[in-house]
Amino acid sequence: MSRLLAYCGFLQDEKITLPNTGVNGRPIEVLVHGALRFLWSEVEWPFQQAELQQSALNFHRVIQHVFQQTAVVPFRLLSLFDDLAALENFAAENEESFVADLERLREYVQMESVVYIIAPRIPADADSGRAYLQQKAAAIRLSGEHAAEVKGAVNGLSREVHVREVKTGSRIFALVKRGDEDRFRKAVETVPVKEPLSRRISGPWPAAEFLSEAVKTPQVASPR
């Protein structure tokens, strides 16, 4: 049984080159809908469990190939459609919101700074346990303060900044102009990392965090 695997959507530009193959070595096809282009390939379904990791790598490779040249709306990993008609219907229903987001994000990429709390080993006795919880609470506060400082440091070169608190610390997402990635890294590095925190800077990535809800929602609904 076969399905259509969707990779990403982007705006038409004759200068953009496309990869030849995608997941499982299947040929990359292009769906044209107005100014929109969607990359897809026909794959056998269900996927073999042993091939999932390699399939995920190939999936992201296709997206990165296009993203290095222009803004993309990436589909979630292994997003499937029953047939070409289903993908065409999806394109027709979402054309306006996709085009609006792609035009808005045309010159931007997503950069990230993730702050991790290096937690001490959980003690066995009650007194040490209370001290552990106090240390953990203090580390969480420190992580939040660090995220606020990073947000302030990158505000001048970011069109938009989102901060998300997670169990292990904080994630800072910044919408940055292409070409300003090194400026972002240097700005983040001006904020000292205090114990017990650790930091990782990554990007550039497609600006998935900054997509409108109208574009994010179909991505959640389409995977099978």
| pLDDT-based confidence at residue 120 (cuts at 50, 70, 90) | low
Q: What is the mean pLDDT of the chain?
A: 91
Tokens in use for 21? 């193959």
In the sheet that 73-81 helps form, which strands lie side by side, from edge to edge? 29-33, 36-44, 2-11, 73-81
Q: CB neighbours of 96 closer than 8 A, spacing ≥ 6?
A: none
Q: Model confidence at 221, in pLDDT bands (50, 70, 90)?
A: very low
User: Can you tell me the distance from the alpha carbon of 21 to that of 41, in angstroms, rounded to the nearest whole number?
Assistant: 8
Considering the chain, what percentage of its residues have pLDDT values greater than 70? 92
d(CA 211, CA 200): 23
**For 73-115, how does the pLDDT look when each residue is reduced to its tens digit (9 = 90+)?**
999 877 899 999 999 999 999 999 999 999 999 999 999 999 9
**162, β-bridge pairs:** 173
In the chain the domains, ranked by start, together with CATH numbers, are: 2-105+210-221 (no CATH), 108-206 (3.30.70.2730)
Helix, strand, or coil here: 170?
A: strand
Report the pLDDT value the prediction gives residue 218, as an integer from 0 to 100: 62
Residue 186 clears pLDDT 80, i.e. is over it: yes
Predicted local confidence at residue 127, as pLDDT? 60
Q: What integer is the mean pLDDT of 171-193?
A: 97
CB-based contact 155:188 (threshold 8 Å): no
Rounded to the nearest angstrom, the gap between the alpha carbon of residue 125 and the centroid of all alpha carbons in its chain is 42
Which tops the pLDDT comparison, 23 or 130?
23
Is the pTM higher than 0.85? The answer reads yes
Hunting for tokens 């394109």 — which residue is that? 91
